[in-house]
Structure 1
Amino acid sequence: MLARQRQELILQEVEQTGGVRVSDLVDRFGVSDMTVRRDIEVLARKNLVVKVHGGATAAGTRHPDEPGFSVKSEINPAHKSQIARTAASLIEPGSTIAVSAGTTAYAVAVELRPIKRLTVVTNSPRVAEVLFDADRDDQLVVLTGGVRTPSDALAGPVANTMLADIHVETLILGVHGIDLAAGLTTPNLQEAQTNRALIRSARRIVVVADHSKWGVVGLQTIAPLGDVDTLVTDADLDPEARRAIADLGVQLIVAPRSDEDASGVGQ
């Protein structure tokens, strides 16, 4: 099937149902994930569809609400695990870190548990819960206050005030979308402000995001992509995206697939 034929069928499906998922189109057409994403990108550039995390929706139907934590946790779980293991390997024992909310950041928190003498600041109740261990005296977990959002983050003025005087070495930051022009984005206005407070608290910003986040633009920008020190992603990130990230001076670390040796991490 020609690319134009696939794109016509994708557009037809979007118009009939209001949206499509990349995984469903991969199964339907028998092509790669990246091929489907390129088809959606072509349609998005023509303003025929709106590219969203994991798929596309009809033009004019984009909604600022973010899917809940449980829904997002089911998207690309293998990639998130690979990214989490790689990102956790960047953290040394005795470090002071911050971990944002989000399913990929949560996956990193799970991998951080064996690391000794960590001080962790987080606006995610789930991250705090997975890291807290009453039997350990070598680890401090600090949970901000704030209003709970659909993605299970604590955000808003209380969280922002608490973070104003916090200083950490590294921030592990999950994001809704990454775009060359729009930067790091989120559909939640309160989370955008709290994520900015987290960024201000850290000397090093490590963004953890799988390839499907590339090109997705949420309602508000958190920070320019060039402000990121390190981006940890998976091996399915498009080569063009890799070049664009490198051109901005951002360290790109590609997590090895689960069947690859850790020495295969690319930068």
Structure 2
Amino acid sequence: MSAALARQRQALILEAVRRDGAVRVSDLVEQLGVSDMTIRRDIGELSRRGLVARVHGGAAAPEGRSSEEPGYVAKSALQTEEKRAIGAVAAALVRPGSSVALSAGTTTVEVARALLDVPGLTVVTNSPRVAEVLHEPARHDRTVILTGGIRTPSDALVGPVAVRSLQTLHVDRLFLGVHGLHPDAGLTTPNLVEGETDRALMAAASSVVVVADHTKWGVVGLSTIAALDEVDVLVSDTALPPEAREIARERTGRLLLAGARPGDTGHPGDAPDAGPDTDTHTEDEESLP
């Protein structure tokens, strides 16, 4: 009987992963009425069979082809702590009264949350979720401009309408989320049209800040957005491998690692102005543009 129940649970878990792209252990415990250990055992069995990938706090669809595009819900369950830390470090680069652009993505949503206390911002975005975070009718000092376009699985508004609206705009800084980072392929996305819109966002910005956790390194999507040397600042986390750090130092204008303390990797005392509650470490001393 217990084996039959386990198979039923695993079938429900697999169905949820295939539908949403990822599931959290805590959600499954509540939905199925079993213990945390039981759910983890089920996920382990599904992972052993190659049906799901085990991730921190849950399970996700196994990695696939370069054209496969995970949905927003799936990506939002992954590397949540790293993304939150990256968002805080990235937001510390923004001065009051600036104009900024944010692309779509789960990491840029964390940047948006970290920008809530920065006064006087003008924000351009092709992400309805970013716009929702930043839109506060009572905040008369903040302007949020949402591009039009066709919505992708990652909740980006893309296509000719988005590109045309971006071609007339100019912002101080772009915060760009990406599907993958690779020494040769550069910044990539599985969606061709989203790649075109991301390039329009880059063209509208005086400075490009890429926000990407360590799991994005080495991943190659179908379409290249830009080369690494077109990135002014890369914000990642301390789990970024040493060889990736070295390449990022050489190819990008500046590397910031969320969660690092000054001296962790050889450049002591060079934390940027991220505020007293954020531990950061600057990997490259080149000044920001």
TM-score bin, normalised by smaller chain: 0.7 to 0.9
Name the residue aligned to 2:208: 205
| 1:82/1:257 contact within 8 Å kept | no
| 1:22/1:55 contact within 8 Å kept | no
| 2:173/2:209 contact within 8 Å kept | yes
Percent identity (aligned):
49
State the secondary structure of the residue aligned to 2:70. Answer: coil
Query: Cα–Cα, structure 1 residues 249 and 151, in superposed 2: closer, same or farther, change >3 Å?
Result: closer
Q: Which blocks of at least 5 consecutive residues in structure 1 are unaligned?
A: 1-12, 28-53
State the secondary structure of the residue aligned to 1:17. Answer: coil
**Higher Cα radius of gyration:** 2
State the secondary structure of the residue aligned to 1:221. Answer: strand
Output the CA distance in 1 between the equivalents of 2:163 and 2:109.
Answer: 20
Name the residue aligned to 1:266: 282
State the secondary structure of the residue aligned to 1:138. Answer: coil
Number of aligned residue pairs? 223
What is the TM-score when the length of structure 2 is the normalising length?
0.72
Q: Which blocks of at least 5 consecutive residues in structure 2 are unaligned?
A: 1-45, 262-275, 284-289
Deviation at 1:168, TM superposition (A): 0.3
Name the residue aligned to 2:111: 108
Deviation at 1:21, TM superposition (A): 4.1
Q: Out of 160, 179, 195, which is 2:198 matched to?
A: 195
Output the CA distance in 2 between the equivalents of 1:81 and 1:99.
Answer: 15
Which stretch shifts more, 178-187 or 240-249? 240-249
CA deviation map 1:171-224 (0-9, x unaligned)? 000000000000000001110000000000001000000000000000100000
Name the residue aligned to 1:140: 143
What is the TM-score when the length of structure 1 is the normalising length?
0.78
Task: State how 1:1-267 maps to structure 2 within 5 Å.
Answer: 16-17=49-50, 20-21=53-54, 57=63, 62=65, 64-256=67-259, 262-267=278-283
AA matched with 2:278: A
Deviation at 1:55, TM superposition (A): 8.8
| 1:184/1:221 contact within 8 Å kept | yes
| 1:105/1:173 contact within 8 Å kept | yes
Name the residue aligned to 2:18: none
Deviation at 1:231, TM superposition (A): 0.3
AA matched with 2:282: G
Output the CA distance in 2 between the equivalents of 1:170 and 1:63.
Answer: 28
AA matched with 2:50: T
Output the CA distance in 2 between the equivalents of 1:175 and 1:63.
Answer: 13
Deviation at 1:74, TM superposition (A): 0.4
RMSD: 2.4
Output the CA distance in 2 between the equivalents of 1:63 and 1:18.
Answer: 18
| 1:255/1:266 contact within 8 Å kept | no
Deviation at 1:265, TM superposition (A): 2.2
State the secondary structure of the residue aligned to 2:75. Answer: helix
Output the CA distance in 1 between the equivalents of 2:197 and 2:185.
Answer: 18
